[in-house]
Amino acid sequence: MTGSRVTRSIVAITAHSGDFVWRAGGALALSAARGDSVRVICLSFGERGESQGLWKRPHMEMDTVKRIRREEAEEAAAALGVDVDFYDLGDYPLVVSEDARERVVAALRDAQPDVLLTHVANDPYNRDHNTAHETALATRMVAQAMGHDRATTPIGATQVLMFEPHQPEVCGFVPNLLLDITPVFDRKRKAMEVMSAQHHLIEYYTELGQRRGVQARRNGASGDVLQAEAYQRVFPLVGAELI
């Protein structure tokens, strides 16, 4: 699928190590399949709040949960064809230290992303998502500053897309991009199946993909679009043509 297309750089800044799979696995796999550079930043493993499946096993310990979450996320990333970095900042609540922010800024300057993916601004169910959103916007700003770390190169006006939260309407999520993920849905499915701590979500997100696919067709996609993911843009799209 790569051809003569200019390759691009995508970075996802996520709260818990499962988020990139459930919420943006299709977009990430799609970009990877086209030869883009795709990096996922997992600020935490979601070890306390998003590992129900693991904590129900006997004699579970925090280190084991984190190890399994890491392994599963790595395996899922491999299924999607993307790279993943773990920041291990803790969850419930996620706290992003100044050092961690600097590390994200450095990663952005290194990646020079065309697109940043992250959570919505205000998820009343999960404040870690908000923290990740704020981290994305704040580090983007710092990474743009000409006077910051003169040894590295400032990034440009990177687009930011928010992926879909679990209960979109309650989070004020209004999709303005329905992304066709049909060509890579099998990869997303494979990645989801790896996530043993949250197995109950697989059917849920499979159906969500189909639902967003139906809606994509209702908004003009061709009939061969079967699955889609929904995104909401933070900044205006810049275009050379009416679309």
Q: How far is the CB of 46 from a copy of itself (least distance, A)?
A: 9
B/e letters for 167-192, b = 16+ CB within 10 Å, e = fewer, are: ebeebebebeebbbbbbbbebbbbbb
Is 159 a binding residue for a copy of itself by CB under 8 A? The answer is yes
The vertex-14 CA angle with 13 and 17, nearest 5°, equals 135
- Which CB, 84 or 120, lies closer to a copy of itself? 120
Q: How far is the CB of 240 from a copy of itself (least distance, A)?
A: 5
Burial grade of 203 (CB within 10 A; 0-12, 13-18, 19 or more):
exposed
Q: How far is the CB of 219 from a copy of itself (least distance, A)?
A: 5
Interacting residues with a copy of itself between 173 and 232 (CB under 8 A): 173-180, 204, 207-208, 210-211, 214-221, 225, 228, 230-231
Could you check whether the bond before residue 113 is cis, i.e. omega within 30 degrees of 0? Answer: no
Interacting residues with a copy of itself between 101 and 140 (CB under 8 A): 101, 115, 117, 124-128, 134, 137-138
Cβ–Cβ under 8 Å, residues 31 and 3:
no
Q: How far is the CB of 158 from a copy of itself (least distance, A)?
A: 7
The tokens for 81 are: 């064809």
Q: Which one among 166, 189, 193, 196 touches a copy of itself, defined by CB under 8 A? A: 166
Interacting residues with a copy of itself between 64 and 93 (CB under 8 A): 65, 91-93
CA separation, residue 34 to residues 8, 38, 79, 80, 188 (Å): 9, 10, 15, 12, 15
Q: Where are the beta strands (DSSP E) in 6-80?
A: 9-14, 37-42
Interacting residues with a copy of itself between 8 and 67 (CB under 8 A): 10, 27, 30-31, 34, 47-49, 51-52, 55-56, 62, 65
Q: How far is the CB of 194 from a copy of itself (least distance, A)?
A: 20
